[in-house]
Amino acid sequence: MSSSSCGLSPSLRSRLFNSSATRFLVPPARPNQYRSRCEMNRRGFAFRGILASGVSVMGSSLVTEPTEGVERLPFKPEGYNFWTWRGHKIHYVVQGEGLPLVLIHGFGASAFHWRYNIPELAKKYKVYAVDLLGFGWSEKAIIEYDAMVWRDQVVDFLKEIVREPAVLVGNSLGGFTALVAAVGIPEQVVGLALLNSAGQFGNPNEKMDESEESVLQKFVLKPLKEVFQRVVLGFLFWQAKQPARIESVLKSVYVNSSNVDDYLVKSITMPAADPNAGEVYYRYIYESKVLLLNKISTLVSRLYYKNISFLTISNYSCKTSPIDAGAST
C-alpha cells in the first residue's frame, strides 16, 4: 500500500477499522519486547535515500495493476482548503463522511500523493489529507523545523479541524509525525497506520550519548561545515527540483510507473518553486535532530496501555501486523 496505490484493500480495512472483526492478528508487544525484523526494522523501510534528492514518497507501491479508469483526486494548482495555524497557511483536502482518517505525507511530498487513496477511502470514511508546514501547498515558513513542529500542527489539526477521534495514517516522515502526535494527544487518536515510517528503532531504555562540543568544534569547524553543507544542499535542491529529475526518481520508486504522470510531477515542482522552499529543505536536512533523539520503539511503548489500534507496514513483502495497544493478553 502506498500513497500511489488505489486505497486500502478490503481485508486491511476490516482489520483496522471494523470493530466487529478480529482486530489484531498478533498479540501486542510489551514495551521492552522487540518485533521481528519483518515487522519492525528500519532496514526494511523503502525510504531509499530519496531524502538527498529532495523527493520522498512511499518506496514501492503494493498495487501493480493498471490505474486506467480508477478514480483519483483532481489536480488543482490553487489547492483545496486552507487553515491558518500559528499565523501560517496550511493546505488540506477533505472528502467523505464517517470515521475520520487523517493522511500525512512524507518528506518532499504533499496531500496530492494520496490522490488514489482519498476517493477510495472517502466511500466509507471522512478523509483528511494535510500538507505539513513547509511542504505542498502549505506555507514555506522560515522557522526551525523538526518533527515536534509537525506534531503540534497535527495535534492542533485534530483539535480545530477534525474535532473528533481519528485514525492517523502516515508515510515516511508522516508516519513518524503521526506517531509522535498520537503520543501527544492519545485521546484524539483511535488508530495508527505507519507506512514505511521514518525514524529509528532500538532499545527503548537505551540512552543516547551526546558528547560535548569543544570550542574549536563549536566556533570554527561547525560554522565552516554549515557553509559547505548549505552550498552542497543548495545545489542538490536545485538539481532535485528539475521536472526530469523528479520524474526519474518517482519512476524508480513506483512499482507501477504509469502512476507517475505530469500532475504528480507538478505536485512537487510547483511547491519547490516557492522562494523559501530551498531554505526549508536545508533547515530540515541539516538542523533537525528529532528523528535521532526519539526511537520509534520508545514512542510505541508509550502507547501500549492506550486504546489505540496499531498497524505497521515496513516492507511490501512483509505481513502486516495490526496491534491493539490496549488489548490484554
3-state secondary structure the chain: CCCCCCCCCHHHHHHHHCCCCCCCCCCCCCCCCCCCCCCCCHHHCCCCCHHHHCCCCCCCCCCCCCCCCCCCCCCCCCCCEEEEECCEEEEEEEECCCCEEEEECCCCCCHHHHCCHHHHHCCCCEEEEECCCCCCCCCCCCCCCCHHHHHHHHHHHHHHHHCCCEEEEEECHHHHHHHHHHHHCHHHEEEEEEECCCCECCCCCCCCCCCCCCHHHHHHHHHHHHHHHHHHHHHHHHHHCCHHHHHHHHHHHCCCHHHCCHHHHHHHHHHHCCCCHHHHHHHHHHHCCHHHHCEHHHHHHHCCCCCCEEEEECCCCCCCCCEECCCCC
Q: What pLDDT shows up at residue 81?
A: 97
The set of residues, in sequence order, having a beta carbon less than 8 Å from that of 163 and lying 6+ positions away, is: none
160 falls within a domain = yes
Distance (Å) of CA 204 to CA 34, 137, 225: 10, 36, 32
If one counts every other C-beta atom within 10 angstroms of the C-beta of residue 228, the result is 10
Q: What pLDDT shows up at residue 221?
A: 41
User: Which residue range is the domain that position 249 belongs to?
Assistant: 10-207+214-324
Q: What pLDDT shows up at residue 291?
A: 52
Distance (Å) of CA 223 to CA 139, 218, 219, 281: 28, 7, 6, 18
Q: What pLDDT shows up at residue 317?
A: 40
1 falls within a domain = no
114 falls within a domain = yes
Cell 489547492 sits on residue:
79
2 falls within a domain = no
Q: What pLDDT shows up at residue 304?
A: 72
3 falls within a domain = no
Residue 237 dihedral angles phi and psi, to the nearest 5°? -65, -45
Closest CA to 107 of 19, 46, 171: 171
**Spatial separation of the C-alpha atoms in residues 296 and 158, rounded to whole Å:** 21
What is the pTM assigned to this prediction?
Answer: 0.65
155 falls within a domain = yes
Q: What pLDDT shows up at residue 281?
A: 66
Q: What pLDDT shows up at residue 43?
A: 28
5 falls within a domain = no
Q: What pLDDT shows up at residue 181?
A: 95
Q: What pLDDT shows up at residue 226?
A: 57
4 falls within a domain = no
What is the tally of structural domains in the chain? Answer: 1
Q: What pLDDT shows up at residue 315?
A: 56
> What are the mean pLDDT values of the chain's consecutive 10-residue runs (329 residues total)?
39 40 32 37 29 32 47 90 97 97 92 93 96 93 85 97 96 91 93 84 48 44 50 54 73 78 78 71 60 67 75 54 34
Query: Domain containing 319 — which CATH number?
Result: 3.40.50.1820
